[in-house]
Every structure is written in structure tokens, then in C-alpha cells.
Structure 1
Amino acid sequence: MNETIKRKLDLLPNKPGSYQMKDKNGTIIYVGKAKSLVKRVKQYFTRPQVGKVMLMVQEITDLDWIETHSEKEAFLLEINLIQKYYPKYNILLKDGRMYPYIGVKRTEQPVLKIFHKQTSKAYDYFGPYPDSNAAHKVMELLNRTYPVSREEFTPGKPSFYYYLAKAENLVINDDEINNFDTVRDKIKKFLNGDTSEVISFYRKKMEEASDNLNFEQAGEYKQIIQSINATTEDQKIMMKDKVDRDVFAFSTREGYVCMLFLLYRKGILLGKNLYINEVTEDLNEELQTAICQFYLNHPKPKELIVSDESLGESLKQLLDLDIVVPTQGIKKDILSLALENAKAGLDAHFMTARLEDDTLDLLKDLQEKLHMDRLPLEIELFDNAHTQGQDAVGGMVTYVNGKKSPELYRRFNIHQPNKADDMASMREVIYRRCSRIVKDNLKAPDLIIVDGGITQVEAAIDAISRSNIKGVKLAGLVKNDKHETNSLMDGDTGELIPLDKKSPLFFLLMRMQDEVHRYAITTHRNKRAKSLFSTFFDDIPGVGDKKKERLLNAYPTMDSLLNATVGEISQLTDDKTARLIFDKIQKSKKVEENLNKKAKTLFN
């Protein structure tokens, strides 16, 4: 304890408030609250501490505090300071899953938007939905059925009437189209779960198309009905009262706590949010803090179910919602479910910790096999992909401590003339990567692995040498005559090191090899799709520059175009041209399917 802390301890008041512990850099590393600041803070420095608290106290070089009128006010201040500073010794709920809502704006023209937080008061919110995919599916149904905008009209952007033209079918009559209130009410009715009007409309359209022998159109209407049913049937009612409620449970083990929230909305189990942290202070107080912190970032339900009486009593003073501690019935059953999930989450955490220890052993094994002077904690793997020399790319994936780090992945467009020359492409990619590390003074990997035999390794050796990078080990994954990876090549000695196909190290290297294959092929496919898409309409009779521009505005990506129907396309051009475009789309889909099959063959 230094002189600054000693002096400040004498100044602490016997009043409620929040205190902040700081390290040598002035960074706040812990925020707490107290009924009596002087009694609580002095305990850190006058009593023996163990574990995480002991480590924290060793880092403290300064402290501060803010007095409050009451203990509750101190608690709320503590929550706000934790949210502001994210101190490393506090329980932090930073990575909670945010469930999406569909917002209907209360403006003149109907505007729809997907939100993850109910931040704007200008919208009515519907949901939440289990994930973004579910929300987007509902949005797609609405866009096909109602004349709705996805944004407000501004010059240069699509207007309500643009989307009106794109709507494939309208569950409103001509008199209602310009009555925005009516359109908005019908959309809200759909989002509230009353889909009967829409299903009845599409069933009638399906029967009419079938009677007219237009079976393709009838099939499309049938798919729409199935999609609408799927959005409602997937949501099974778990609680008959349909009350919005959360269930909170926790499990502790070896100084760690797993906290779990089960989220029920309108009686439906929507999902869960799970957090694992080390326990620093009194468990009950930390749970209170964590729960209140959770509801700063998530909408409050009407009811919160908890397992602990004392925790429930504390929360009643802090949260404006009903707190229930059930002893029997269905609420007790779902609380038991939450407790099981919390325990399973903690078990998984400790299992992962053991797996990380096992991974470290595998990296030591790799270090010994390649005669490295340090552990290969950061590994970069390289692979190339092209289609007969077209759209050639290189892919780099990074593993840190044996785990992939997608934020460190890199892609390279191949510039050298003969793009079908894999050796020249590998030389170019590794030279560019290593040169960038040297030029920008970046941290170099411990190990570079190339996918290939002696030719690929030689290309990489040449690239590394010309880049002037230092201290990087090189290895290659070598295949036998059956195209099966069976050995490592040491880039320094050329030695072939056999790999035991039943060993954990082999499986780790195979996962790495599959990942760099996947990334290179995905990068190539994206580039190829972009190249094809930019000229997709060029050879279609009847599509000039203006029509092409209109089509590209309506379908800005290849994915959006591949999902287009004849009916949608005919809204933007004549029926004959729409059919030509649709036929070409079907051919492109077959090419895409063949690429998918090729990818599955490689990875399975």
C-alpha cells in the first residue's frame, strides 16, 4: 500500500457511495459500492485477500469515490460506472446476444426496418425474433405482399411507389393503396400473428393459377403459404399466459460463476444469454450488479424468475418489474431448466479450458517436430484458388494458440500474368504478406504453413528470402500419390516428417488445412460471382444500358438476382425479356450448385 492510498483511506467518509480502484496508469480496474465507504474500502488493505481479489489489490495504486444519498443510489451509480469504464475485475456482460425486432415507423408512408435495440420512439416494434434470419424472412414476406418501404423517401433513393411496383402481390385493394394508415394496420396485424387474411389471399391466388393451368405460378404461391406457416409454427407456446418473462439462474464452481437468462416472449422461449466470470466480491452483490447491468442493454420483461430468496428480495428494491421465486408448477420447471443450462455452461467452460491445455501440448509436439526454438503460438496458412486461371486469389488464415482468428484472415487478388501457375501465385502471395509485415513493422507469425509439396515450399522459401523477413519458420503440408496429406515438410531442411493419422496433432493440422481450403475457395467464388454479375445482362437480347441499370438497382447482388422470380422481373421489363433473364438465372444456379458440390467433396 503506497502513501497515496494511505492518505486517501483516512479521508474516506462513513457514508454510502461508489468507489473506483485504479492501476499505475490511472485506469479504473474495479468499481464497487458500499453502505459505508470507509469500512468497505479499508477491508481491501487491512484483511488478508486470496485469488482474484489478491491480484487486484496488488495492482491498485490509487483510488477514488463518489458519495451518494443512499445505498440504492450507490448501486445504480456503480452500474453506470461499470458500463462506462468496463473495469477488468468487475463482472462484465459485454457480449450478450441482442435479438432482432421489426420496426414499423409511424410516418405517412409505411416504413419497415430491423432493429436490435428499441432505441427510436418513432417506431412500433414487433418481436423479438430468434435470429436475424427469421426477421429477414418475415420482412421478405411483407415486401412481397404489401407496398412497404425499407427506408424513408429522399431524393436519389427508392420511394414508396418503387416498392409498390416491386410488390409481387397485394393483399389490399386499389382503394386502399394510398391509404397508408390502412396498409400500416394490416402490416401490424400480420406481425401480431394474425396471418389468416394473407394465407386466404394466397390460397385463392394458388387455386386460380392452378385452374388456369399455370402450375409454376401456383407452386410459387404454395411456397409463400408454407413460408408464412413456418414463421408461426416454429414458435411453440411454452407458457399459456403469454407473459413476457425472463428466468435467471446461476451455477458456481472453483471461483467462477455461470449466469444464464432464459428469455420468454409472449409465452415463447426465444433464446438464452449466458455469461461466465470469475467471482471477485460477495456473490449475491455481484449477481445483483450483473442482472441490473443486463437490463441496461436489454428490454425489461414484465416478470423475472429467480431461484434465490435473498437475491429476489434485493432485486425488488432495484428493478421495476415483478420478481418471482417459484416453489412448484411450470415456473419451477422452467427455473430447473435454466439451472441445468447454467451448470452445463460452466461444465463446458472448464472442458474448454482443459482442451486449451491439450492444444498447448499439440503445439509443443509441432515445435519439436519442426525443431523450432519457440512455440508456434501464431500460425499463418496459405492456399490459392482459381478456375482455369480466371479470378485467381490467395487466402491466408491465422491460428492463435491453436484457435482460428478470423479477424486476422487476409485475401489476395493474384497479379502475376500466368494465374494458373500455382507456384508463382504462392510466391507472390507470401512475398506480399511478408513484405507488408516488414514494411509496417507488424508482428510476424511464428510459423507459416503452405498447402503443397516441394514446389510450393520452394516458392515460399524464395518469397520469404526476398522479403527480408526474419525469424519465421516455414513448413508444407505434403500429400501422397492418393492426394491424402501424410507428412510435414521442414522448410529449413527439406526433411519429410511423417504424420500419424490417428494422432491429435494430425487432426489439428487437418482442421487448419480444411479451413484455409474453405477460405481460399470462398474468396474465389465471391470474386467469380462478382465478375460474372457485372456482365450478367450483357448478352441478353432486349436489355440495353437503361434497362440494365434498372435491373442492377433492383438486384444489387448475385444472391438477390438468383432468388428472383419471373413475376418480380416482369415488373421491371417485358414478359419476353423477363423469361430470358429467368432462364439465364436457372443456368447460373446450376453452376453454383456444381461449385457447392465440389466444395463439399473437398471438405467432407
Structure 2
Amino acid sequence: MKREEENKRLERLKNIVLNMPDKPGSYQFYDINNEIIYVGKAKSLKKRVSSYFHKEVDRYKTRVLVSKIENITYTVVNSEEDALLLENSLIKKYNPRYNILLKDGKTYPSICITNEEFPRVFKTRTINKKTGTFFGPYSNIGSMYTVLELIAKIFKPRKCNMPMTTEGITSGKYKPCLEYHIHNCYGPCIGKISMEEYRENTRQVKEILNGNTRELGMWLYNEMLKKAEEMKFEEAEELKRKYVMLENFMAKSEVVSYTIKDIDVFSIVTEENDNMVFINYMHVKNGTINQSFTFEYRRKLYETEEELLLTAIQEIRERFDSHAKEIIVPFEIDWKMKDADFFVPQRGDKKHLLELSVMNGKQYRFDRLKQAEKLNPEQKSVRLMKLLQTLLGLEKMPYHIECFDNSNISGTDAVAGCVVFKGMKPSKKDYRKYIIKTVVGPDDYASMQEVVRRRYTRMREEGTTLPDLIITDGGKGQMSCVKEVIWDEMKLSIPIAGLAKDNRHRTNELLFGWPPKTIGIDVKSELFKVLTNIQDEVHRYAITFHRDKRSKSALHSELDDIKGIGEKTKEQLFRHFKTIKRLKEASLEEVATVIGQAKAKILKENL
């Protein structure tokens, strides 16, 4: 019984891992008491966590850790650096049993801008808010030094530790150091740069450290043009130097900032016509994310997103005993809380945190659907068919879908193809090819009508089940010609939809009804991808058939029209004479030596 339970546990965990994303993030292992026993980071969550469950893992400590795991959660982030920062903050908060090597309280360095009259900029591991403003932390030391180097080259802040004051500068108290002489400092100590200019430089440094490089870049660019118009070319050249260096700079990580002291972040992810709701919660303390969970809710009535989110906020804050005074939410909530205020960020670090929360909610929803659909492959098809039925207002679920397409070159070798999808999957045994018989010239509409008429006349005569939906590869024109045959002429009540293309020949909308109307469906959605897959498949099928037919026509020779000359005989003749021209020039006796007297006589008479 224990072996069976152990196999079930591993199977359940492996199923979670299989549906993890191939993105950077932090993962957490839980034991039977729902306590975090290990926190890790990964460039690819799926690859890293799956490595724990490989059969060839022979490290004793890893096997012991895996034997204790009862559940796995994870948080997706934007970069490897963010994953490292998140892992660090979670380890410090939960002190997991198996992260023993990381219990040294290591702190990543930050960049400090002091509160002095002439501020300094330097790296530090000691955070004291009275000293100045702190930016970071930086898990990637190299990127931190890149930032400091950029600041030093563009703005040249002072590096000395003197308690510099305006009075001291006026009285000539200070002397310039080597940094001034080698042009690494503007020399505020001897009044070579005013306090106003120095503080403007400091403000721009803060913009860079806040990640607002685009706004600063635009300001530098406009100032450069302004100075050039004023004929101040030296100043314009200096601004250009700063602008070019800034353009090549990579902004810092977006996950954390010391300006954020204690907040809760909530986001909600819903899907139209779906009762499932996913709410992500993140708690940020002293600039680091120390909690991140996604919860599932199910709509019982027709609750709005605001009602669902408000209910979840109260439950989740109580569950995690959160007393944060500020709650970040994705939209305005018309409700007052006793001990906290709602805030909808528009830019900056808080906006980035909200976007990260939304990304985690969407990822969780995607993974849950993927996991459920792996256990039950038909679930995805049924879900998409129900969604399409709801969007189009169909009486029955569109299990059987057919799509048509024509193919010809200036009306020659005109053909058409019909592909059949059942349960949102191609049913290739039901595909059909058609050679256009009654239409002369390149008339796509008439060709489409001929094929549709032949297809459904035969199906009706044979008593074959008619499709639940017809999709035309085109807009209103194609829909109109199919409607004339199906509805007006044959009196069949089969719904007709159309997939229309934009000016760049890219499918961009679904049409339905008469007169046709655009159906609101996201072109990036799973359903739209399935519909365009149907369209691509019928296009491929028709083009392939047309290409094959055209190839056969090109290979047709005068020998094909001579009765009594078969494939083997033609092969013998071409092997010996190579071309029709040489065959015609050959004598009857010469041809007879290859294929015999009787066939040679027939051949010569017909040629």
C-alpha cells in the first residue's frame, strides 16, 4: 500500500512539473505539513524542477528532499536576476530546512545616493534610510558596476568623503583631488560646477536608477537640440555624449525597490464564458517579494470582477495575517477598507509589480488548463467547441466543421479542396479533392458554388451526416456565394462563417450571420488559432492538389494519347531515344528493335 501511495505522490508531482513554464522564476517545495522545506531559483522552471525527479539522480540529499515533497508552487519573473532576488527574499522569510547553505543572511549590494548638499553615489550592503536613498538590491554584481560606471562617465559625481558644504566651497576650504585632475569629477569642491547643476545631475542619476531611462533620454536629446540651436556646440556635444551612453545602457531589475515598504498586490484573471477565476496575491516587504500565491475561485452567480476581487482580498489578507496599509489593484474598487487604501498604479515600480502579478495569474491559469487537458485530452476540444457555440449562438455544439478553398492559375488546372475537422481535430479520411468541371476561366465564386453543390448534393443522396458549421476561406463574398447554394438553392440550414484577411493577407477577423458581422474574438486566443489552423490546412490541401495536377500536365507527352502504348513501353522508348524529336526521326526498324514490330507500327502511324 505504501508503494502504491508513493507512486501516486510522485505521479502527482511529476504532473505539476510537466505543466510548469519554460520561464525564469523561483520554486518552493512543501512537506506534508504544508511548510516550505526548500526554495530554489531557475532560468527555466520546468527544466530545473524536473531534474529532481530524474531516475539517474543519485545524490543522497536530493533523494531525501524529494521523498519529503508533497506539493510544489512557483512564481514566474521577468529575468534570471529577478529569480535570484526572489529566492533570496523567500529564504530569509521562511528559513527552509533544506536551504541550510543559504542561512548566512547574505545581503545583495545596493547603490546609495546620500542626503548631503553635494550627494555621493556608491555601492553598499548596509541599508540605513537616514544616510540617503537606496536603489537595488543587485543580485548581478556585474550589472551594478555597469550602472555605476555609466553614472561616473556621464555625471561624474564626487568620490571623496569630505563633508562638503557651500560655505566651505565659498571660503576656499577644499582642494581638488586627483579625480578632478584626471577629469573624473567636475570639481564641486572648488566651485567648478554650481550646486544647482550638481543637483540636476543627481536627479538624472536617480532617474537612471529608477529605470526611467527613456524619459531621461528624451530630455537629454531635446536639450542637445536646444543647445545646438543656441550655437552652444560644446554643451550640445557634452549632452550628445551622455545621450549616446544612455542609449546603450541596460536598465536595472524591475522586481524590487527599497521605496516600497509594505504593500499587498492583487490581480484577477478571468476568461469570458468561463466560471473559473484566478486571483494572484503578492506581498512586498521592504522592497522584496516574500509571498506569492494564486488562488482559484468559481463564479456561483454572475459576480463582477470587482465583487470577486473584493471578496478574495478580505479572505487572503486574513489568511496571511497581512496588515499592509496599501493594496495595489488593477482597477478602481468602490469600497472603503478600515485599515488599508486601494491604489491603481499608472507607472513605476508599483505598476511593474502589478504586471508581474497579472503574469503569474495568467501563467497559473494556463498551467491548470494544460494539466487538466493532459489528464483528459477531450476536455480542451469540448471547451473550445462550447466557446465557439456561445460566440456564434449556435443551436448545437460545432463538432463537425468543414472548410473549402479553390486553387488555379489564370483558370487553368482549376481544383478545390474540402477539409473536415471533428472535435477540433483534422479527420483526414473525410478530406475531399475536386476538379472544377463547369467553370471556364478564373472565377473563384462560381468554382466555390460548384464544389459546395456537388459536396452536399452527394452527402444528402447518400444520407451522410451534414456538418454543424461551414467555414469559408474568405470574407463576405465567399460567404455570399456559399449561402446562395446552401440556404437559397438546397434549403439546408447549415451555419456559415467566414475568416477574413487584412491588407497584408493575414487573417484578422471571424464573420458570422447575414448580413455578416464581425464576432468579437481575440486574434491571439486559443480558439482563433484553431480556426486559422483549419484555414491554413484547407489552403495547404488545395494548393498541394493543384501543384500535383499541374505537374502531371507538365509531364504529359504525345505518347500518352496513343492507344496501345503503356507506361513500360514509354519508359523503354525514353531510355533509348531520350526525346520525342529523336523518336520521330528514327526509322520503323530502329523503333522495332526497342519495342517490337507491332507496337512500332502503331507508334509510327500515330506520330
Please give the TM-score of this superposition, normalised by the length of structure 1. Answer: 0.33
Larger radius of gyration: 2
